[in-house]
Amino acid sequence: MLSLFSPAFRAEVTANLRLALPLIAAQIAAVGMGTVDTIYAGRLGPQPLAAVAVAVNVYNLFLIFFMGLLMACAPIAAQLYGAQRPQAELGAFLRRSRRFALIVGVIWTLLLNLVGPLMLKALGLSAATTADAIEFLRWYSGVGLMTALWFALRFGAEGLGQVRPIVIAALIGPAANALFGWLLLFGPFGLPTFGIKGLGLASTLATTLMAAVLAWQYRRVPALRATWVADAATGQLATGEGARDILKLGLPIAAIITAEGGLFVLTALLMARFGEGTVAAYQIAINFSSLVFMIPLGVAMATTVRVGHAAGAGDFAAARSRGYTGVALGGLNAASNAAIMLLFSGLIVAFYTDDTAIAMQAAGFLWLAAAFQLFDGLQATANGALRGLKDTRMPMLLTMLSYWAIGMPVAWWLAFRAGLGPDGMWWGLTAGLGMAALGLSLRFRHKAGKLVRRAGASTSRPVET
């Protein structure tokens, strides 16, 4: 195990951050897409902002599940790479993951168009807000198809440690969304305005461009092109890893991500009971919280790759050390994020809205959100380390217990029974995240220690699911 601040620890921090920093940039860019939508909608007024807020959170219910499902591509590719399997096997797995993602994307888009409007109508918002939300979601639904393809391309490259192409493509997303949104929403230079539906279409176009650029990188970057060419030459997958393996590993990951993300989304939907102004304030606070959370999440994804490479090579002692390093980095960063939210809440909110009442409530929400940042960073990186070991079933149970047997009941009781209102929802989130951080950290300690004891540092077999 690495001792804190030893040369080996510093070397692992450097290796982790070399992967993590580009992934952090990619994650921030992804959240930046939503930030652009939130800022543009806020300039239209409280009602459009509330409409976009609830529509995006309905979309997020599906996003977190399908993202978790396709996240399995990263540890599978990482362990294949760490085990030094032939390029043809890597290439064939990546090809099958892309085909699987297209099927997932079609299902995702259909669900948004068929189920999304029903969910929006059930929230009890005003008729005008509901109509705007449905209109926005209809034009926004194409994001589902292109995001699924983006995830397959992105997590495949991530598993191979090829993160620079991801960043190049990801940074295009929010820039394109800002440009398309400006053109379609505000109609400069005498162009027609499309209102809130233009905002949804802009996101669809920007996501399509982002996925296309990353697909092009697979034909241009030598390490990615090598898998593409090798697969084309053989067309076979000797290990049989494909959609079945993604489902086997990805469904528990999807359940984990959904358990956490669903907690936040349901909280957002329950905020509607306190009025549209509260919904808008929550959207501002949670959007910024999500933005800074991309840093520990990027560290978690890098930790998955680092642990996966070591586990694939059979070096479980190194896998354990890399996991501990990732958790330490995630916790340190989460603490700094909390400090930023406490010290600069007013300045942060000013970027989102000019409405005084919404701004005051959003600033208060940011103070409460700062409380759970540390727990969120710890649970994310511990989960990332466990994914690198292909350990997803027990973490799934731990997160479901933490979020839905503890977090949400506590949030509901504090908000609607103890009289704390919207603030009680935030404290319930903190309780759930705290339990998840504790449980997942202990699980990694147990799992990694067991592998080291059983197999030893000289084990040559990859971890079995």
User: Average pLDDT of 337-360?
Assistant: 85
First vs last C-alpha separation in the chain:
23
Average pLDDT of the chain is 85
Name the amino acid, one letter, at 70: L
**Contacts of 114 by beta carbon, 8 Å cutoff, 6+ apart:** none
Take residue 320 and report the two structure tokens written for it.
């354990």
Residue 268, classified by CB atoms within 10 Å of its CB into exposed (0-12), middle (13-18) or buried (19+), is buried
User: Average pLDDT of 352-375?
Assistant: 84
Band (127; pLDDT cuts 50, 70, 90): confident
- What angle (nearest 5°) sits at the alpha carbon of residue 304, between those of residues 299 and 307? 115
Band (207; pLDDT cuts 50, 70, 90): very high
**3-state secondary structure at position 124:** coil
Q: Is the pLDDT of residue 187 over 90?
A: no
DSSP at 116:
H
How many other CB atoms sit within 10 Å of the CB of residue 464?
A: 5
Take residue 162 and report the two structure tokens written for it.
């090829």
pLDDT at position 465 is: 39
Q: Is the pLDDT of residue 371 over 70?
A: yes
Q: Is the pLDDT of residue 96 over 80?
A: yes
- Shortest CA distance to 185 belongs to which of 399, 13, 39, 396? 39
Q: Which helix (H) or strand (E) holds 278?
A: helix 276-312
pLDDT at position 230 is: 55
pLDDT at position 459 is: 45
Q: Give per-residue pLDDT as tens, 391-410.
A: 989 999 999 999 999 999 99
Please state whether 161 falls in left (phi above 0), alpha (psi between -120 and 50) or beta: left
Helix, strand and coil content of the chain, in percent to the nearest 5, comes to: 85, 0, 15
Q: Is the pLDDT of residue 213 over 90?
A: yes
Alpha-carbon distance 375 to 91, whole Å?
37
153 or 352: which carries more pLDDT confidence? 153
Per-domain boundaries in the chain = 7-455
pLDDT at position 242 is: 67
Band (290; pLDDT cuts 50, 70, 90): confident
